[in-house]
Amino acid sequence: MAATSAAQPQFITSNGGESRRQSNEPLIENIEYDQIVVPDKKSWKNFFAYLGPGFLVSIAYIDPGNFQTDLQSGAQYKYGLLWIILLASCAALVIQSLAANLGVVTGKHLAEHCRKEYPKVPNFILWILAEIAIVACDIPEVIGTAFALEMLFNIPLWIGVLITGLSTLILLLLQQYGVRKLEIFIAFLVLTIAACFFVEMKYAEPNASEVINGLFVPQLKGNGATGLAISLLGAMVMPHNLFLHSALVLSRKIPRSVTGIKEACRFYLLESGFALMVAFLINVSVISVSGAVCNSGNLNSKDQESCKDLDLNKASFLLKNVLGNWSSKLFAIALLASGQSSTITGTYAGQYVMQGFLDLRLKPWIRNFLTRSLAIVPSLIVAIIGGSAGAGDLIILASMILSFELPFALIPLLKFTSSKTKMGQYVNSKAISATTWVIGSFIMGINIYYLAEKLVNSLRSSHLPKVGVVFCGILGFSGMLIYLASITYLVMRKNKEGTHLLALTHSESVQLANEQGNNRPIPLPRQDIVSMQLPRTKTGEDSD
């Protein structure tokens, strides 16, 4: 094959050619990108071929937004909200495994299924909501990076916010020299700060019985506990992660057999479980250290003031026992690494969302520039007006937005993976379906409860005239009704699109192919997905 041009168009649309291949054509004609091929034989060694997507996804569980909400929950409620972390981590494992299964079984990721399944208007609204979720996820990363630059170089917060755009573009350029090496380096820095918190737990000596009680006894005591609990949920289970995970698994060339697909689903579950366990331990350690230190009786007055309104910019004092004067520097480096690594995965998610919903793909640097610009504007305004305290509050608000938006990614995922017409014999079992719908209902229920409570309390304490209170009440309850109606539409609407042939057994495929003659298998691994995830380095020319 002739060498491909280094210059690629900035806007790429697929013409559906791949999906119209004849079923007897080879899955891959030419491998132009780095691809991971899983051997067509049963072996535990295959597990190593599946390593990667789960760890990329888990980065979102230890980003600056998580650190911020963890620090505040520990400082304000000690260990009382640890059960939220446990619940969210268990829910995340189940939900992320469903996202991986959807991609493995059908050969399409979540956003592509939404485009095929929903009419134009609902599909467009879901795309807008997905883009808002990505921007809301990017805000904590912008502010976290700005905090890190302030701690490292004494750069004013608002200037640090502006610099974050440039820093992320530089990291995207560095990917050309090997994204795996970059990810390993970033993971090393983040795990370094995790190790510091693990060691700090020895000095802080959190009460073991209180920690266990906080993990397994649900409670919401004190003003603001519900809002912070929602922020913890939003910071843990993120909508964009569902689109991301279902797409990342398409970069593997797995055996397209019943055994091969089942093995892929099982190994992706194990890989995700290991990655999320590490993230869970990091979050628990951050809350435990913050809770133990900020609720101890021997804090000096300065640290007591920091604990009253604890944010990422003030948290380095928690590590003084381990790192001494280096605590702020190393914490800042890890915070910088956490924010930048999360931004890279956010860029990937944005690519998949745009390609899936609109059949349109931007170059990574353009996509990142647009998302980062939208995140910088509110961050810059808050940083100038409210300073570090306002920026910390914005992180909490962004996490709450993510929690409120979660149903609009979660419900389609649950509907698709629970549908026999889409998943064939790999459809969710009744136990898994019941569990996931209970989890989804709980998340939606706590969101609706918080909205109603906040609205009622705001109207009661309002100093507006009665006409104004009535008008605001009508607007508020109308918004809640629209939110509920949208969720109800997604839940009640029956799936109309049939399954992809790859989800079925051979006999089922033949039967459906006769009914839907134009439904042809999609070649796997998806080269468009691979090219987004692993940019190819220039090698001169491609071989046939």
> Residue 288: what pLDDT?
92
Residues 451, 388, 152, 318: what is their CA dihedral angle, to the nearest 10 degrees?
Answer: -70
DSSP 312: T
**399 near 388, Cβ under 8 Å?**
no
> Residue 16: what pLDDT?
42
Q: How far apart are the first and last CA of the chain?
A: 5
> Residue 9: what pLDDT?
35
> Residue 360: what pLDDT?
75
> Residue 186: what pLDDT?
66
For residue range 119-162, list pLDDT tens digits in order: 999 999 999 999 888 888 888 888 888 888 888 888 888 888 88
What is the identity of the amino acid at 490?
Answer: L
> Residue 129: what pLDDT?
93
Cβ-Cβ contacts under 8 Å for 98 (sequence gap 6 or more):
413, 414, 417, 428, 432, 436
What is the H or E stretch that residue 457 is in?
A: helix 430-461
Give the CA diameter of the chain: 76
Distance CA 464, CA 461 (A): 9
- Which residues, in sequence order, are bridge partners of residue 362? 11
> Residue 414: what pLDDT?
93
**pTM for the full model?**
0.81
**534 near 251, Cβ under 8 Å?**
yes
Positions in the chain whose pLDDT score sits under 50: 1-33, 506, 512-513, 516-521, 534-544
In the chain, % helix, strand, coil (3-state, to 5) comes to: 75, 0, 25
Distance CA 233, CA 331 (A): 24
> Residue 253: what pLDDT?
79
Dihedral sign for Cα atoms in the order 240, 241, 244, 246: negative
**Neighbour-count burial of 539, counting CB atoms closer than 10 A to its CB (0-12 exposed, 13-18 middle, 19+ buried):** exposed
Distance CA 181, CA 186 (A): 9
Cβ-Cβ contacts under 8 Å for 469 (sequence gap 6 or more):
459, 462
Please report how many Cα atoms fall inside a 13 Å half-sphere around the Cα of residue 512, on the Cβ side.
Answer: 21
**Helix orientation angle between 430-461 and 82-106, rounded to the nearest 10 degrees:** 130
> Residue 7: what pLDDT?
39
Please report how many Cα atoms fall inside a 13 Å half-sphere around the Cα of residue 71, on the Cβ side.
Answer: 26
For residue range 338-347, list pLDDT tens digits in order: 887 777 778 7
| Structure-token pair, residue 275 | 């990655």
| Structure-token pair, residue 373 | 């610009």
Residue with tokens 């649950």: 414
DSSP 180-227: HHHHHHHHHHHHHHHHHHHHHHHHH---HHHHHHHHHS----STTHHH
Residue with tokens 């400082």: 75
